[in-house]
Amino acid sequence: MTERLEPALIALRQILRATELSSRALAKQCGLTPSQLILMQIITNVPGATPSFLAKEVSLSQATVTALIDKLEQRGLARRRRDETDKRRVCVELTGDGAATLRDAPDSLQARFENGFGKLESWEQSFLVAALERTAALLDAEALDAAPVLDVGAIGRLTD
């Protein structure tokens, strides 16, 4: 191995492990996936959010968001309701159990990354994005459909 290859591989492995461990801890502590947690956070912050709005916010397909909402509803954490003024419109809201689950959820790896990334200088953010995009290209992964969610497993257009 070259002098720089080993530290690069270690850093990649650390990122993969951090993502996996964070997902497992979230699942163990409150039974949520990172995608579900992020969706619940948006629902809380945007009263009257529609499934189509949520899909755009998390950069997931409408079908994926519908499946996520279905799972949250099955667990009694969210519910769909008709808009009071426009009965054609369906909004999503958290139940009392959903709000409590969200309050008790640990900080997500995504939130920690967003916080740290936001503190970087603009040139550092650009450098990091370029390095990550180049890394994805080295792994022939740039064509993979992926949402901007730090989660393990398939979180693209069709699955949770």
Q: Distance between CA atoms of 147 and 115, rounded to whole angstroms?
A: 18
Express each pLDDT in 2-56 by its tens digit. Answer: 888 999 999 999 999 998 998 888 889 889 998 899 999 999 999 889 999 999 9
SS3 24: helix
Q: Distance between CA atoms of 68 and 160, rounded to whole angstroms?
A: 7
Judge if pTM exceeds 0.85.
no
- Please compute, for residue 133, the number of CA atoms within 13 A of its CA located in the half-sphere on the CB side: 6
SS3 105: coil
Q: Distance between CA atoms of 32 and 43, rounded to whole angstroms?
A: 15
Structural domains of the chain, ranges and CATH numbers in brackets: 16-106 (1.10.10.10)
Express each pLDDT in 115-142 by its tens digit. Answer: 999 999 999 999 999 999 999 999 999 8
Tell me: pLDDT of 157 over 70.
Answer: no
